[in-house]
Structure 1
């Protein structure tokens, strides 16, 4: 299975559309900030356009999306992963959108205790799968994926705690544009693919062999 994971569209889906016209993937994952502070209807338009490629789309809202965006995802052909989970070909997927509190009072922020309770519950529902993908908008605290140029870490401490406790195979995140890159927490690989609006993405390849579950990831330029 080939999965294309992106984050931080901020209303610009053109790099992804261009890529899909020339490349085949089996699943698209969007890790939040589909719009840049709205309007919510723009997210529906973007998800409808992506779904026209006949590829399943899984999405969560970001902190810069309107508070009601999860409803708009439900109204589109895309699958809303916010605080939810599902299994596709023995791969467990779950997600949690928005972010931990920021200094900017953006539309979709959650207190750490709510992130811990709801995101952990979603991930616990798929821990029986050999490969688990944990899709969050905010990165986990204290990694290369939540590091500002100032040297300050601004990710979610709850997400880090959940990853330490449950060890999903992979955490796809976003939110901190300057922190594109990879890291690890225990056995969990953390990937912030960077801004889709700047042509950044992550390609995930998962072996289809029933005897060997293998996952390879690569940050790419679209």
Structure 2
């Protein structure tokens, strides 16, 4: 996003709170979500400002958790200038040195959707994105805005993974990654590899941060995020090192 993008003060924006619903991450808990007014499209400036306050994008909506009595969801980001791959991550980079990447606009592709649908059916049949559909995919991961991108990962001519991300003024925001599911591909740790490639892309664009969304200490599926040290966590309105 351009640093010359027009900005509106956050206090001038309208927000809506959802009714309580089942938490997607922690059993036996209810969640509520704070959404930017849908009439306020996620334009540059607004999006940049809200991302610094822990908001995320899903389709055309900007949101963040706003649960009474619970602060388990914490926004995390990687300060890329301080990141150094650990031994496991270096092995993953070497293991995937034969993979090539291409960054394209976040437009719909039947090839992408086929990979996504297989991923959801085989990896997340117990989640709230099952069963997959083309409309669901379009609403979630496609957006005709200049900041919305997809990183394609190819093994030869085969598309093996896609990482959706946004380019903000102060970093990249990783939206979602999906990849091929097979015994051979599982050994490649494509989810971790995609994050490592986004870190490289941040450096190429001289962007200081890679935003990884929310981290919940009690959620096993989110533990991979804390491996990308050093990780910063949003504490109120300030980003601080995650110390565990």
> Which TM-score band (shorter chain)?
0.3 to 0.5
TM (normalized to structure 2)?
A: 0.31
TM (normalized to structure 1)?
A: 0.34
1 or 2, which has the higher strand percentage?
Answer: 2
Pick the structure with greater CA Rg. 2
